[in-house]
Amino acid sequence: MAERISTMHEKDMQKETSRQKVVGVIVMVLLYAFLITMALIVLFPFYWMINSSLKTLEEYRMSVPTFWPKQIMLTNYATAFQTASLGRLFLNTLYVGIVSTILSLVITILSAFAFARLEFKGKDLLFAGLLATMMIPGELFTITNYSTVTNLGWLNTYTVLIVPFLVSVFYIYLLRQNFMQIPNELYLAAKVDGTSDFKYLCKVMIPLSLPTLISITILKMMGAWNSYIWPRLVANDANHRMITNGLRNAFKETSGDVNYPVQMAAVAMVSAPLFLVFVFLRKYIMKGVSRSGIKG
């Protein structure tokens, strides 16, 4: 009798194990099917951009779209590079992005260190006030910023593209939270040894917070690369035009029509650097953000 009960119990266990395996397989299949579907939805616009950039204008205007060009027009990329003066646009954007990123990093590091380690009257109140400004949409500052830079005579200069956005409260908060995770005992021991604040910052805090600094650098460069409204308002001449607003009217023909395949080729070339940055450096962005905001 006991053997029969044991045998039935083993069969029930085997059935339950088999059922759990089947359910697990079904869940995994549905999960991967969902992820693949979402990936295709996300990647389809990029595919359509490249597909359109390789077509002739006549094929692009067909009433029934084709999912692969009948005639591959690689010359669209050369035409786009020459028509939009992409070389100049790339140089302008790189210059603004690199200079603004370096200066913004300096301001962010010094500010974060002050709020994380230094003691001064009103520090917490000042930091709370800075955080409160994050709730104000940036668009509200557009008119006042435009009036200010106009009075300063900065229109159509690199200065107007760099200076107004050097300070980012979000980056300061992000780095300050990362600095707060470094034990304060290290700072006190360094002060006992006679180490200056600046030396401690350079030798200890910056190396330990390198993933977060890399994330801030990448995000700042991407922000400069994607900036559109502000450069459109304040620096729209040919010598200071950024890559985003430089493509807006570059492909209009004399008839007023737009050569969309050539425009798509230009957009593909402009999007390629950001795509490569995301593919190869995404782990640094996620790692830097994940290490911040845990303590403090």
Q: What ranges do the domains of the chain cover?
A: 2-53, 77-290
pLDDT of 112 above 90: yes
pLDDT of residue 36: 95
Domain with residues 77-290, CATH architecture: Orthogonal Bundle (1.10)
pLDDT of residue 2: 56
pLDDT of 111 above 70: yes
Mean pLDDT over residues 196-218, rounded? 88
Question: Could you give the CA distance from residue 10 to residue 2 in angstroms, rounded to a whole number?
Answer: 12
Question: Could you give the CA distance from residue 16 to residue 208 in angstroms, rounded to a whole number?
Answer: 50
pLDDT of residue 64: 84
pLDDT of residue 294: 47
Per-chain mean pLDDT for the chain: 84
Q: Tokens for 206, please give them.
A: 């910056």
pLDDT of 8 above 70: no
pLDDT of 94 above 80: yes
Question: Could you give the CA distance from residue 198 to residue 213 in angstroms, rounded to a whole number?
Answer: 17
At 7, the pLDDT band (50, 70, 90 cuts) reads: low
